[in-house]
Amino acid sequence: MSVRLIETEPGRWRVDKPASPVARSALPCPMVISDTMPPTEQVDGKFYESKAAFRAVGRSLGLIEVGNEKPKLMVRSTDQRSVKAARRQAVKVAAEKFKAGHRAR
């Protein structure tokens, strides 16, 4: 078995493998998502066939589309200044008690 090498730059070689074709559709624009949908009833009682219109009505009524909401960033309680200060104070008190000879039993 022989391996064919290709020099990519001076001193660097790679194995020559047959390139596989990129998976593409026969459609002219396979990455475009259609705006049409089956008639769907919104909360206002009307049926919509356009996704954009359906979402616009929902937003105007104050609804949140599930899976489309932006979650709020969680703030760690340990990142708060008061929590850090309390933890430092607790460690300081424990260290002073230990140095003073106090042992928990």
Asked whether residue 13 is assigned to any structural domain, the reply reads no
In this prediction, residue 29 carries a pLDDT of: 66
Q: Which domain holds residue 40?
A: 31-64
Looking at the 3D structure of the chain, how many domains does it have?
A: 2
Asked whether residue 10 is assigned to any structural domain, the reply reads no
pLDDT in tens, 76-85: 878 888 999 9
pLDDT class of 100 with cuts at 50, 70, 90: very high
- Residue 42 and residue 54 in contact, taking contact as beta carbons nearer than 8 Å: yes
**CA dist., res. 99 & res. 105, Å (int):** 16
What's the gap between Cα 94 and its chain centre? 41
Asked whether residue 19 is assigned to any structural domain, the reply reads no
Q: How many percent of the chain have pLDDT more than 90?
A: 49
Asked whether residue 12 is assigned to any structural domain, the reply reads no
pLDDT in tens, 50-70: 999 999 999 999 988 888 667
Asked whether residue 2 is assigned to any structural domain, the reply reads no
Asked whether residue 3 is assigned to any structural domain, the reply reads no
- pTM assigned to the model: 0.40
Asked whether residue 15 is assigned to any structural domain, the reply reads no
Asked whether residue 40 is assigned to any structural domain, the reply reads yes
